[in-house]
Amino acid sequence: METVQKVAVFGAYGHTGRFVVRELLDRGFVPVAIGRDSGKLRALAERHPGLEVREATVEDPASLDRAFGGTAAVINCAGPFAATVAPVVEAALRTGIPYVDVAAEIEATVDTFAQFGDRALAAGIAVVPAMAFFGGLGDLLATAALGDWSSADEVHIAYGLSSWHPTSGTRVSGKVSRERSGGRSRSYTNGRLQYHDGERPTLGWKFPEPLGPRPVVGEFTMTDAVTIPTHVSVPEILSYMTVEAVADVANPDTAAPVAADESGRSDQTFLVDVIVCSGGEERRAGASGRDIYAISAPLAVEAVDRILSGKIKGFGVASAGGMFDAEEFLTSLSARNHIARV
């Protein structure tokens, strides 16, 4: 983009936050790194000479207002999002800037729609939660697959991960999310999010090549089960995750991601396969790429770019597929070599 604009990154020194800072710089934005830890902010600035850093905490609303001053938008990368979403959205509304986050916490995303929909709409501000690998990407793929359909009987989302090395932030967010769900599994069925006990089923899924058929764990419900129904009439959303990835994230001894190149990306790969069904007809869309944490950065930054460029469907709280032209969005990611369409 031609006009240089400052974008606040709350939680900038976290694992995903660092990818977001780099992506903003690559796209010609001026990131403003924000967080509570001055030492970590200084260390981040040393890696990016000239990077502006500002201290702020969610417990101090005035510090957030000061930190967001002069910025055009904010990307919230700080989990657990159950603790950060409300204070950061409130500050965004007070300062009059759009808000995007990379939350993968189901209940936190539900709260965002419930608490801020009317206020953000009245203020003429775009608020886009779950603009990340979990939530945003599946939502965009499902919306693109729907095409001219406004509704579907079922949406199936299969995550083909080669492995899942969770960050410390994922561990903490997962703990909070489990506490909020009472340790129960979730599914989106009969038009609503439901909670239940019992083991998730192990099934089979035929991914596109080169991944091919793989065993998957069913009812692996993620934030796209919250975002998709906000703009698509669908009673059933069924999600699946490769068994290897489930075993990795469930194992407390699984190591955090290890950088495999200078950008910080790991060698982990993914393929997201989405099938939408209506009246006996199926439509399919998919995307593959590398590192589920790294891909959240271009998803969030592309969202901010489109919001600031006016390439949105409206204001208020909306998901990726509800706020943006899904096909254009995915095409942009593909053109920048962040994903490959499958």
Distance CA 169, CA 330 (A): 27
In the predicted model, residues of the chain with pLDDT beneath 70 are: 1-3
pLDDT of residue 4: 77
Angle at the Cα of 128 (from 123 to 130), degrees rounded to 5? 150
Report which DSSP code applies to 230: G
Cis amide linkage into residue 215, ω under 30° from 0: no
- Structural domains in the chain, CATH included, are 6-132+295-341 (3.40.50.720), 135-290 (3.30.360.10)
Extract the runs of DSSP E, i.e. beta strands, from the chain: 6-10, 30-35, 52-55, 73-76, 99-101, 126-128, 154-161, 185-189, 192-196, 202-206, 213-218, 236-242, 269-278, 281-290, 316-317, 340-341
The residue written with tokens 């790429």 in the block is 289
pLDDT of residue 198: 87
Cis amide linkage into residue 201, ω under 30° from 0: no
From edge to edge, which strands make up the β-sheet containing 99-101? 52-55, 30-35, 6-10, 73-76, 99-101, 126-128, 316-317
73-85: per-residue pLDDT in tens? 999 999 999 999 9
Are 304 and 75 in contact by the 8 Å Cβ rule? The answer is yes
Assign 194 to helix, strand or coil.
strand
pTM for this model (two decimals) = 0.97
pLDDT of residue 3: 58
Are 106 and 132 in contact by the 8 Å Cβ rule? The answer is no
Assign 275 to helix, strand or coil.
strand
Distance CA 164, CA 155 (A): 24
Residue 296 carries which side chain, given as an amino acid letter? S
Distance CA 136, CA 324 (A): 11
222-234: per-residue pLDDT in tens? 999 999 999 999 9
Are 103 and 81 in contact by the 8 Å Cβ rule? The answer is yes
